[in-house]
Amino acid sequence: MESALFIAPMMMSFMMSSVAPVALFAAGGDLDSERIARGAAQISIMSMRSVMDVTYDDLVLDDRTGDFSIRGIEITLPEASGITGCTVKVDAMTVVGLDRPDNLSFASEGDGIEVNPACAGEQSAIIQSILGPDAMNVTHYSATTSYHIGQSSLDHSMLIETAAAGSISINTQLDGLHFEFDNRGEPLPAGDVTRVEVTLQDTEALRAMLPILGLEADPVAMATGAMGGVLSEGGISDAEEALIDSANTELARVVEDGGAVTLRSGRGVAVSFKELSESNGPEDLIELLQPVFSSALVGADNLISSEQLKMALAAPEDLSTKDQLRVAMALASGEGVPRSAGKAAALLEPLAEGGNSEAALNYASLLHGQGDDLNVAYIYALAAGKAGEAGARNILDRIESDLDLETILDLQAGEAGDVIEPAADVASLRNSARQYANGRGASRNYGHALLLATLAAAGGDHSSRLLAERLSSRFDEDENAAIWDELKAAQAEKALTLWIEGFGDGFGTE
């Protein structure tokens, strides 16, 4: 039954993932978007026809949203697959573009999926007798894939809403994705699985089946007993005991009261692809993934309780700074608590004003994301960078892209504070110049960075020479390039004055 349940969504994932990159490019380009997207879909369908029969009624591109749909699809597996009479019909499949910074992301959706019971093979009659004629139909399917390029990580989620047996969602996270080569020189994907979650929702239909299955006596005992029987060969380990205990608790709750139940991997788990490929049976997988059953759809690390939320909103000072930040970030993202950018900002602002650099950076990012006061956002980002907060350079660059040059330089000057007089030491000059240029370890200040890099370059440091050249061309093409030229000229004059006054003599002679 499990393979039958996933056959249609998996076909759709394969098909839409091959169409998505070109369709998303076409939706944002100046060329004939629909023509390009149609071509990509047609090529994908033609390639699928090498292993199955695929027909469709129409291809539609929504110019306003960029969503691309294939309508009236019918997929038939060939007899060579060993499954006779397996046909899947789909009202519509759609690729949805997702605008997420630093990510390659897309989603696919499907509606009105009818799966011929024959796709279940020999289990067809049993499944229909239990679940009825709609046993294998799916009312809605959606999948989201997001690859974070900088971190080389991938998040994938899938939701399948069945017509007869509730809905199931699957969430996975893979980190450190790369390729390794086998003994024959063939590339193989490698990385770590760091999260696996499978959630069963809308369990009322399944609960109603328990009498039919003869499990009205004690289905939980039967399920956990069977689980223990499978795992008892080498004795019950701590990880297996935790799984069985959580199953007893959560499955009993579902049988009694209904609701959702989640099976998730343990906290901090990181299992390599190689370890998974070499595992042998459920006992190995449990030791690797340390799974437990839970009633929460969101992991305990992210879920915000009602008490903690009330306290954060009414009396945040009664929470630790760490918990205030945790609630604020949950409010900003909408994961673990309903999203409220305003409430998040209200929590972050006093922490940022109090000098918390993490709060300052997140507050700056939130303000910029909302298009609020960009000057204030930039000032907080400067403070976060001065404190050495990781990520400040990225936030500063993004905010600067929405500010004019004169404003940038004025804000930098206002936050400059006391500037230490430069000393004739190449390493010190180089490091300070880089800190001022990047805005981490010092409040970003292009004027100071130019001056120090110029002095270090004059002392013979090639790295500083490159930095000075890069800084000199930083705003050459800007609409206010004249302002930048004035700053460069002023800093060049300062450098010359210092040299005349004997600064260069401090570098020493042979």
Answer yes or no: are the C-beta atoms of 176 and 274 closer than 8 Å.
Answer: no
Answer yes or no: is pLDDT of 291 > 80. yes
- The whole-number pLDDT of residue 34 equals 61
Distance CA 213, CA 18 (A): 41
Pick the residue with more confidence: 299 or 273? 273
| Mean pLDDT of the 135-143 span | 86
Mean pLDDT in the chain?
A: 82
Segment 232-240 shows an average pLDDT of: 75
* pLDDT reported for residue 311: 92
Chain position carrying tokens 């390493």:
427
The model carries a pTM of: 0.63
In whole angstroms, what is the distance from residue 254 CA to residue 261 CA?
Answer: 7
Query: What is the signed CA dihedral for 499, 501, 507, 509, rounded to 10 degrees?
Result: 100
Q: What is the pLDDT of residue 317?
A: 92
Inter-residue contact 281 to 254 (CB < 8 Å): no
pLDDT higher than 50, residue 23: no
Contact status, residue 130 vs residue 162, Cβ threshold 8 Å: no
Model pLDDT, residue 241: 86
The pLDDT value given to residue 205: 66
167 contacts 155 by C-beta, under 8 angstroms: no
β-strands 68-76, 58-61 pairing: antiparallel
Instruction: Output the six-digit token pair for 103.
Output: 């990510």
What's the Cα-to-Cα distance from 456 to each of 36, 306, 444, 453, rounded to whole Å? 53, 56, 18, 5
Under the banding of pLDDT at 50, 70 and 90, the label for residue 4 is very low
Q: Is the pLDDT of residue 52 over 70?
A: yes
Per-residue burial over 370-405, b = 16 or more CB atoms within 10 Å of its CB, e = otherwise:
eeeebebbbbbbbbbbbbebeebbbbbebbbeebeb
Bin 161: left if φ > 0, else alpha if -120 < ψ < 50, else beta: beta
Query: How confident is the model over 205-232, as a mean pLDDT?
Result: 64
Residue 10 has pLDDT above 60, yes or no: no
Residue with tokens 């880089």: 434
Q: Tell me what the mean pLDDT of segment 380-384 comes to.
A: 95
Is the pLDDT reported for residue 147 higher than 60?
yes
What pLDDT was estimated at residue 22? 46
Tokens for 443, please give them. 């409040």
Torsion of CA 98, 104, 109, 113, to 10 degrees: 180
pLDDT for 260 = 80
Best CA proximity match to 121, nearest among 88, 163, 86, 74? 86
Residues in Cβ contact with 382 at an 8 Å cutoff, skipping those fewer than 6 apart: 396, 411, 412, 415, 439, 443, 444
The amino acid at 476: D
| Residue 171 vs residue 43, higher pLDDT | 171
Rounded CA-CA distance 338/261 in Å is 21
Is the predicted pLDDT of residue 30 greater than 60, yes or no?
A: no
Q: Enter the tokens of residue 458.
A: 């004059």
Q: Which of 23-37, 222-236, 252-266, 364-378 is predicted most confidently?
A: 364-378
Most confident of 13-22, 102-111, 294-303: 102-111
* pLDDT above 80 for 292: yes
More confident residue, 151 or 466: 466
- pLDDT above 90 for 496: yes
Structural tokens at position 480: 């206010």
Residue with tokens 């969430």: 171
CA proximity to 94, closest of 34, 141, 155, 39: 141
Q: Are 434 and 416 in contact (CB under 8 A)?
A: no
Q: Which of 41-45, 56-60, 339-343 has the lowest mean pLDDT?
A: 41-45
Distance separating alpha carbons of residues 337 and 405, to the nearest angstrom: 39
Question: How does residue 388 score in pLDDT terms, banded at 50, 70 and 90?
Answer: very high
- Return the residue matching tokens 């929590």: 347
* Residues above pLDDT 70, as percent of the chain: 80
pLDDT beyond 70 at 279:
yes
CB 149 within 8 A of CB 104: yes
CA distances to 223, 253, 264, 283 from 249, rounded to whole Å, are 12, 6, 15, 21
Any residues with CB less than 8 A from the CB of 330 and at least 6 apart, and which?
Answer: 302, 304, 336, 337
List phi, psi (to 5°) of 470: -65, -45
CA distance 311 to 326: 13
Residues in Cβ contact with 437 at an 8 Å cutoff, skipping those fewer than 6 apart: 444, 446, 449, 453, 467, 471
Q: How much of the chain exceeds pLDDT 90, in percent? A: 32
pLDDT of residue 498: 92
Query: Does residue 2 register a pLDDT over 50?
Result: no
Over residues 149-199, the pLDDT tens digits come to: 878 899 999 988 887 777 888 999 999 988 888 788 888 888 999 999 998
What pLDDT was estimated at residue 175? Answer: 93
Local confidence band at 101 (pLDDT 50, 70, 90 cut-offs) = low
